[in-house]
């Protein structure tokens, strides 16, 4: 009996019809499994992949930059954001339950993308109608998407089931996978992606992954694995592509034309990035706001990231703060795209990797100073050295604290960086117990949705839920 490959029809940028729930509930006739080729033409295969990105940009997506996105939910879980919505408050208070619908949406959305990537890979293998160059590009993108989603699944949920097939007979009984195994698979997928993709973007925008996209995520993953040498190697590879990437002025970082962008997600048709719609306040907040303690105390004196990336609004006697990285709240002609990977992070990755290697402390500090340089105001007679560069003579422990600080103020409210940093640096308990009255160590992982455990009893729930 041959494994079934379910035929999927993709048209243009239509979103994929499969939800993770339906994927887990597939029940084809047991007596006649029919193997079908998904892709007959280049256009059909390309539409399948671009459909994944279209679904990522949907309002309720983990990748949209909106109220259900990783950026928002992880920002609430850390010490960045305050929640006001009934479904978001549990993230802010770290009082999640396995029945929370936002948890289910997050989990199923990531697995939906993984399923779609697996379907693309299987369809390309089975297809004789897709030309070789297109097949290489699309395989590279699918491997990247799968690794990208597993990075977030394992850092949000821990030992998530590793799904490398669309075969329901395997996926519906999959068990929790060790984190080391997931990281091993991510590096394999990204190296495959790196080998398949070219440096040149396939469109005139940066909304489909290229070789640098795979390399940038590899740099991050090696950093999380504390493989300092490889983290430095891959970050340097991206940084050295100065013909493609450069640090932008703070006000231009998140533009769709930004040369700092490595990979972006295009917004829904006739809209700007949802990040601006979520964060920019014009009245009392209904979803989230920036914590006053973060807005007022996280930044050093004279740091332009505070003046350019944080704003406030006063309503009656109350002042609310909000992230202002994205400058447009709404527009029919988008000028900003949700930025997923950017050059600024690569400098911070390389800085941390270098500081943790013997003999490279000064090089790491120089990378930090590169990031600080663009956050420095223009010197004046009365303030000739605002936000001075870090001393190259500082000790390693102080340099690592400087890395943590720079990541905190450079990457805030972007894709869960602060939440993940607190956990990987073993500071989540000591930091959040001071600002979260109900904090428990088990809160560092989200619960697996109860609906998934009901469907698959092989999934073991995280401690504390």
- DSSP calls for 213-262: HHHHHHHHHHHHTT-HHHHHHHHHHHHT-TTT--PPPGGGTTBTT-TTEE
* Domain-embedded: residue 454: no
The total number of structural domains that make up the chain: 1
Neighbours of 330 (CB within 10 A): 11
* Sign of CA pseudo-dihedral 241, 221, 363, 252: positive
One-character DSSP codes across 320-357 = EEEE-SS--S--SS--B-EEEEEHHHHHHHHHHHHHTS
In a domain, 369, yes or no: yes
Residue 207 domain flag: yes
- Within a domain: 194: yes
User: In this structure, are residues 418 and 411 in contact, taking their beta carbons and an 8 Å threshold?
Assistant: yes
Residues 364 and 373: beta-carbon distance below 8 Å: no
Please give the residue range of the domain that contains residue 409. Answer: 20-272+335-378+386-436
pTM for the model stands at 0.92
Residue 229 lies in a domain: yes
108 lies in some domain: yes
CATH label of the domain that carries residue 87: 1.25.40.390
pLDDT at 269: 82
Instruction: Please report the pLDDT score of residue 268 as a whole number.
Output: 85
Per-residue burial over 44-66, b = 16 or more CB atoms within 10 Å of its CB, e = otherwise: bbbbbbbbbbbbbbbeebbbbbb
Secondary structure element (H or E) that encloses residue 442, with its range: none
For 245-307, list the strands marked E by DSSP.
261-265, 288-290
pLDDT at 24: 35
Q: Is residue 396 part of a domain?
A: yes
Residue 205 lies in a domain: yes
- Unique residue bearing structure tokens 């939910």: 73
- The pLDDT of residue 258: 99
CB 397 within 8 A of CB 404: no
Q: How many residues does the chain have?
A: 465
Print pLDDT tens along the chain (465 aa): 333 333 333 333 333 333 333 333 333 333 222 334 479 999 999 999 999 999 999 989 999 999 999 999 999 999 999 999 998 999 999 999 999 999 999 999 999 999 999 999 999 999 999 999 999 999 999 999 999 999 999 999 999 999 999 999 999 999 999 999 999 999 999 999 999 999 999 999 999 999 999 999 999 999 999 999 999 999 999 999 999 999 999 999 999 999 999 999 999 888 899 999 999 999 999 999 999 999 999 999 999 999 999 999 999 999 999 999 999 999 999 999 999 999 999 999 999 999 999 999 999 999 999 999 999 999 999 999 999 999 999 999 999 999 999 999 999 999 999 999 999 999 999 999 999 999 999 999 999 999 999 999 999 999 999
pLDDT score recorded for residue 34: 31
């Amino acid at each position: 009996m041959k494994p079934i490959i379910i035929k999927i029809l993709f048209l243009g940028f239509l979103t994929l019809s499969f939800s993770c729930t339906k994927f887990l509930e597939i029940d084809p006739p047991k007596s006649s499994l029919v193997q079908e080729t998904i892709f007959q033409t280049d256009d059909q295969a390309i539409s399948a992949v671009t459909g994944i990105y279209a679904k990522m940009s949907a309002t309720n997506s983990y990748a949209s930059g909106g109220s259900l996105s990783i950026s928002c939910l992880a920002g609430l879980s850390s010490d960045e954001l305050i929640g006001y919505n009934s479904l978001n408050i549990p993230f802010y208070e770290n009082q999640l339950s396995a029945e929370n619908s936002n948890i289910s949406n997050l989990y199923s959305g990531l697995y939906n993308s993984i399923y779609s990537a697996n379907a693309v890979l299987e369809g390309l293998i089975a297809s004789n109608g897709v030309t070789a160059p297109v097949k290489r590009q699309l395989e590279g993108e699918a491997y990247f998407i799968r690794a990208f989603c597993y990075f977030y699944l394992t850092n949000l949920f821990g030992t998530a089931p590793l799904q490398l097939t669309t075969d329901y007979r395997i996926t519906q009984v999959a068990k929790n996978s060790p984190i080391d195994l997931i990281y091993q698979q991510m590096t394999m997928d990204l190296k495959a992606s790196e080998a398949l993709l070219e440096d040149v973007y396939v469109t005139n925008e940066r909304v489909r992954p290229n070789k640098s996209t795979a390399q940038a995520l590899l740099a991050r993953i090696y950093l999380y694995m504390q493989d300092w040498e490889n983290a430095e190697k891959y970050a340097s590879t991206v940084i050295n592509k100065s013909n493609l990437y450069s640090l932008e002025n703070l006000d231009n970082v998140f533009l769709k034309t930004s040369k700092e962008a490595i990979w972006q997600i295009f917004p829904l048709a006739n809209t700007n990035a949802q990040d601006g719609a979520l964060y920019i306040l014009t009245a009392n907040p209904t979803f989230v706001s920036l914590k006053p303690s973060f807005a007022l105390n996280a930044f050093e004196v004279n740091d332009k990231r505070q003046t350019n990336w944080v704003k406030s609004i006063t309503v009656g006697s109350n002042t609310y703060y909000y992230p202002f990285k994205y400058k447009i709240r709404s527009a029919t002609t988008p000028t900003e795209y949700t930025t997923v990977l950017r050059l600024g992070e690569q400098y911070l990755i390389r800085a941390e990797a270098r500081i943790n290697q013997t003999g490279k402390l000064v090089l790491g500090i120089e990378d930090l100073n590169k990031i600080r340089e663009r956050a420095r105001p223009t010197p004046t007679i009365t303030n000739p050295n605002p936000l001075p560069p870090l001393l190259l003579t500082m000790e390693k422990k102080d340099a690592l604290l400087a890395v943590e600080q720079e990541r905190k103020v450079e990457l805030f409210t972007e894709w869960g960086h602060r939440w993940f940093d607190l956990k990987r640096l073993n500071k989540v308990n000591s930091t959040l117990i001071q600002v979260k009255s109900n904090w428990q160590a088990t809160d560092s992982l989200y619960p697996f949705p109860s609906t998934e455990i009901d469907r698959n009893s092989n999934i073991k729930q995280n401690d504390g839920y």
